[in-house]
């Protein structure tokens, strides 16, 4: 216990030292620095208004439900390290497609299934597929940026989810097997024993429906059916909310609800500080789309022309660090392509960007550790760079 508190004090001292050096050496009087600080705060403000209430809070409650109510043996059976690969990775990819969330919203649900016993391979496949295999984003990519790029993005994202998950499984298989066979790694819960499978499906579907339709985005006239759903999104969300209330009243006790809310609270305490910090850093460095921060957008545009290894690598790394809210990558890419971005780097950024961001990397590292996180990030960057170069060469 004494060692634990000493380590916490050392960490706190290191943080204070970093803040001191930052405050001492950064020339805040410089216009560029003032602009970057303003962008950092404005990006945090925009993020909290557009994503916390409608995206993250429903995701926290879904993650809490997975942690408290979902049967651990079922998770291990279908998503564990020894699960059948077509079932595990097919389930992970399909689940991500249904949710169609941004790189930050998927994090609480990823943590929930990982803590419940999912293998690192299927869990990471789900982590990648959620933001990357967004049906509307792919449709808009094809509509706005061209059919070839839209198809390449769709095919690449599906393949990436499976290949990256399998690579993580192979690299960390021994650690993962030890983790899932150690019962002490998982919290004890009621395991959903008082509810049938149908009741649990009804309960989970109601929450997923709220998350999906509450955040349904318009296509801008590109897809009529999609825009019709957008018009009625609040009514559809209300139906799922009634389903949720019905399930809670009929099948859950006060003790169940207390455990559920407590789990959702724990996820929020673990994730939100890292997310907010990451958003502020991303805003300080890159700013919001169309606004100047520390690194000017024209610098990025000038480095992603052509189809060289350096341009594709830079596009992949920049995409991995930038934060893209759902669907915003399409107009951003439109602007960069107009500024001279090559076709290969365009695909590289589309494959790396939506699935990763600096805020999400910080949260993933908090759950998996920096070694596993860096391997995941490197896989995304290397594969995006390679596929971008091939695509740029062919098209």
SS3 for 214-240 is: HCCCCCCCCCHHHHHHHHCHHHHHHHH
* Confidence (pLDDT) at 181: 64
Quickly list DSSP for 314-358.
HHHHHHHHS---TTTHHHHHHHHHHTT--HHHHHHHHHHTTT--H
- From residue 269, alpha-carbon distances to 108, 120, 264, 265, 351 in Å are 11, 23, 9, 6, 30
**pLDDT tens per residue across span 199-242:** 999 999 999 999 889 888 887 777 788 889 999 999 999 999 99
Q: What is the DSSP letter of 185?
A: G
* Confidence (pLDDT) at 391: 94
The alpha carbon of 74 is separated from its chain's Cα centroid by a whole number of angstroms, namely 24
Q: Is the pLDDT of residue 182 over 70?
A: no
Which of the residue ranges 77-81, 99-103, 122-126, 311-315 would you say has the lowest mean pLDDT? 99-103
Report CA torsion sign: 75, 77, 82, 84. Answer: negative
Share of the chain above pLDDT 70, in %: 91
* Confidence (pLDDT) at 236: 96
Q: Is the pLDDT of residue 189 over 60?
A: no
> From the CA atom positions of the chain, what is the Rg in Å?
21
* Confidence (pLDDT) at 188: 46
Report the chain's mean pLDDT, rounded to a whole number: 85
> Which run of H or E residues covers position 250?
helix 233-251
Do the beta carbons of residue 214 and residue 237 sit within 8 Å? yes
* Confidence (pLDDT) at 24: 87
SS3 content of the chain, % helix, strand, coil (to 5): 80, 0, 20
Q: What is the pTM assigned to this prediction? A: 0.80
- From residue 236, alpha-carbon distances to 7, 103, 207, 225, 230 in Å are 49, 24, 12, 14, 9
d(CA 43, CA 22): 20
Higher local confidence (pLDDT), 110 or 98:
110
* Confidence (pLDDT) at 327: 67
* Confidence (pLDDT) at 1: 52
Q: What angle is formed at CA 68 by the lines to CA 234 and CA 253, rounded to 5 degrees?
A: 75
């Amino acid at each position: 216990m004494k060692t634990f508190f000493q380590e916490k004090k050392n960490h706190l001292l290191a943080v204070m030292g970093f803040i001191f050096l930052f405050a001492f050496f950064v020339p805040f009087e410089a216009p560029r620095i003032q602009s970057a600080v303003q962008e950092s705060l404005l990006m945090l403000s925009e993020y909290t208004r557009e994503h916390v209430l409608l995206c993250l809070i429903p995701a926290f409650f879904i993650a809490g439900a997975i942690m408290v109510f979902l049967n651990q043996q079922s998770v291990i059976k279908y998503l564990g390290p020894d699960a059948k690969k077509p079932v595990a990775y097919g389930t992970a990819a399909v689940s991500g497609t249904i949710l169609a969330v941004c790189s930050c919203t998927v994090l609480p649900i990823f943590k929930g299934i990982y803590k419940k016993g999912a293998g690192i391979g299927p869990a990471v496949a789900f982590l990648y597929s959620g933001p990357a295999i967004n049906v509307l984003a792919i449709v808009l990519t094809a509509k706005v940026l061209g059919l070839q790029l839209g198809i390449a993005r769709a095919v690449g994202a599906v393949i990436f989810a499976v290949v990256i998950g399998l690579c993580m499984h192979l690299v960390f298989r021994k650690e993962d097997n030890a983790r899932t066979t150690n019962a002490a790694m998982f919290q004890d819960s009621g395991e959903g024993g008082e509810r049938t499978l149908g009741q649990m499906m009804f309960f989970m579907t109601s929450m997923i429906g709220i998350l999906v339709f509450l955040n349904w985005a318009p296509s801008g006239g590109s897809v009529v059916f999609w825009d019709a759903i957008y018009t009625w999104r609040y009514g559809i969300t209300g139906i799922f909310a009634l389903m949720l209330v019905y399930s809670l009243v009929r099948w859950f006790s006060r003790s169940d609800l207390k455990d559920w809310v407590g789990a959702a609270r724990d996820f929020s305490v673990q994730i939100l500080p890292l997310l907010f910090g990451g958003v502020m850093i991303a805003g300080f460095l890159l700013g919001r789309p169309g606004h100047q921060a520390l690194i000017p957008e024209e610098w990025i545009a000038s480095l992603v022309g052509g189809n060289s290894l350096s341009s594709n690598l830079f596009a992949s790394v920049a995409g991995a660090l930038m934060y893209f809210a759902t669907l915003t990558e399409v107009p951003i890419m439109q602007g960069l392509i107009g500024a001279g971005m090559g076709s290969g780097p365009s695909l590289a950024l589309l494959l790396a960007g939506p699935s990763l961001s600096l805020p999400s990397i910080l949260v993933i590292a908090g759950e998996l550790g920096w070694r596993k996180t860096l391997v995941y990030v490197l896989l995304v960057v290397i594969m995006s760079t390679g596929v971008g170069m091939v695509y740029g060469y062919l098209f």
